[in-house]
Amino acid sequence: MSHESTAVRLGAVAGRGEPRLLRVLGTPSLVLFGLVYMVPLTVFTTYGIVTETTGGRVPAAYLVTLAAMVFTANSYARMVRAYPVAGSAYTYTQQSFGAAPGFLAGWSLLLDYLFLPMINYLVIGLYLNAALPAVPAWVFVLAAIALVTVLNVVGIVSIARTNALIIAVQVVFIAAFVVLGAAAVSGAGVVDPVAPLAGDGSVEGPGALFAGAAVLCLSFLGFDSVSTMAEEARDARRSVPRAILFTTLVAGATFIGLSYLAQLVFPSNEFTDVDSAALDVMAAAGGQFLAVFFTAAYVAGALGSALTSQAAVARILYAMGRDGVLPRSVFGRLSARFNSPVPAILCVSAVSCAAVFISLGLLAEMISFGALIAFSAVNLSVIKHYVVDEGRRSGRDLAAYLVLPGVGFALTVWLWTSLSPRTLVVGLVWMALGVVYLAWLTRGFRRRTPTLDLAEEA
């Protein structure tokens, strides 16, 4: 069959009796999925890096990032109502602007989704190696990859059940950190409550603040991961948008509060190791006990984030394979036994093994690069779908479908241009590779990129 005639009805992806994604998730499970994906303790993943970049203004940087993410989360919520299917920004851009732009949005998503499991494996290795120096970090990395792969192959229900336990452990730790941190601050004598917002003077200016805010975009990737579970959600047009917005707001408030307290507890950017700077904060707040408790809670959270992020990217690969953009024989298949995209899951696991040698700083920046490209595309998709294609142009509609996504687009572009030159170069090389692959896929752009027919069967 030619590429021109390739179309896949989502309602008919699997024939009668063949495996298909199961609609089993409600709003609470989706919110848990998003929060576990984001990891409430992810504020400490790049804490040292962003503290140095912003001159001690991590909570201020989070405020900037949250402002952009609220507008973008609203755009995701709008688009998931229009297309309650797997694929996230890939699907929304494809259906709004066409197959080729959709492919490039999906390609940018692959960058951050493929790297997000990797960054979780990397920090698991870093922190467990700090706790048990006799065991090399790579041993912990490979063991975590193996465990997460098995859980993902078993299926989405096992993931949903694991999420509740992981969130509970992190909530208990956060409560302990707040109590002990507040006690440490109150006993420290004179404390400047404005310092976490004004900075320590080592780096000044809005440019540094936006550079830090751009890196922090990776903390918010959980809200868009919720949209990738649309085909496994009950009443997706209502439950998924609610979960997206609620996840963004709860996570943003958590990040700002934790980073504010952390910088009051440890008002310095001189860390033992910038990649594991949180250990210095925990030691200052509660001594060895809190440092050990943090390592356990953080590793559990990183494991949960790896679990959910691998599930999300596997479903994006499945969506792209299902419509022939990636090889359908590999990525477009579900396991008959587990009803999960096993080939895609195994592919993500193989890529994640690069966590053994890649640096934390580069990973964080590249994830933010891919995320911001996808976020920009979704904001524009709202305008194209609702204002241009559907002609919704009343005053209320223009505010909802033009002004709000327009602000979101402007903010994401600003953050994108605030990334380091190294990140921009590597990211643009990745996008260029996407264009080359698309040219090969379409035989020099002489054939159309395969597209999805989103009409579902009744």
- The residue extents of the domains of the chain are 3-451
Amino acid in position 221: L
Contact, 49 vs 314, CB < 8 A? no
Q: CATH number for 3-451: choose from 3.30.230.10, 3.40.50.1110, 1.20.1740.10, 1.10.730.10.
A: 1.20.1740.10
Above 80 in pLDDT, residue 140?
A: yes
Above 70 in pLDDT, residue 171?
A: yes
Question: Is residue 376 helix, strand or coil?
Answer: helix
Average pLDDT over residues 432-452: 82
Residue 449 DSSP code: P
Rounded to the nearest 10 degrees, the angle between the axes of helix 206-215 and helix 58-82 is 50
Average pLDDT over residues 246-263: 92
CA distances from 97 to 90, 151, 317, 383 (A): 11, 36, 20, 11
Average pLDDT over residues 145-163: 74
Q: Write out pLDDT tens, residues 386-420.
A: 999 999 999 999 999 999 999 999 999 999 888 88
The C-alpha angle 319, 165, 309, rounded to 5 degrees, equals: 25
Give the span between the Cα atoms of 111 and 431, in whole angstroms.
Answer: 9
SS3 of 224-259: HHHHCCHHHECCHHHHHHHHHHHHHHHHHHHHHHHH
Output the pLDDT for position 15: 46
Contact, 303 vs 159, CB < 8 A? no
75, two tokens? 């755009």
| Per-residue confidence band for 282, with pLDDT thresholds at 50, 70 and 90 | very high
Q: What is the largest CA-CA distance in the chain?
A: 75
Contact, 42 vs 247, CB < 8 A? no
Residue 25 DSSP code: B
Give the span between the Cα atoms of 144 and 449, in whole angstroms.
Answer: 37
Output the pLDDT for position 281: 94
Give the span between the Cα atoms of 423 and 425, in whole angstroms.
Answer: 5
Average pLDDT, the chain: 83
Contact, 154 vs 340, CB < 8 A? yes
**Phi and psi at residue 452, in whole multiples of 5°?**
-100, 135
CA distances from 110 to 165, 309, 318, 320 (A): 28, 11, 12, 11
Which residues sit opposite 453 in a β-bridge? 9
Q: Write out pLDDT tens, residues 210-222.
A: 999 999 988 887 6
Among residues 286, 369, 297, the alpha carbon closest in space to that of 42 is found at 297
Kindly report the pTM of this predicted structure. 0.78
Above 80 in pLDDT, residue 110?
A: no
Contact, 88 vs 316, CB < 8 A? yes
Q: Write out pLDDT tens, residues 289-341.
A: 999 999 988 898 888 778 877 887 887 788 778 877 778 888 887 777 777 78
Output the pLDDT for position 384: 95
Give the span between the Cα atoms of 433 and 439, in whole angstroms.
Answer: 10
CA distances from 55 to 236, 330, 394 (A): 42, 47, 45
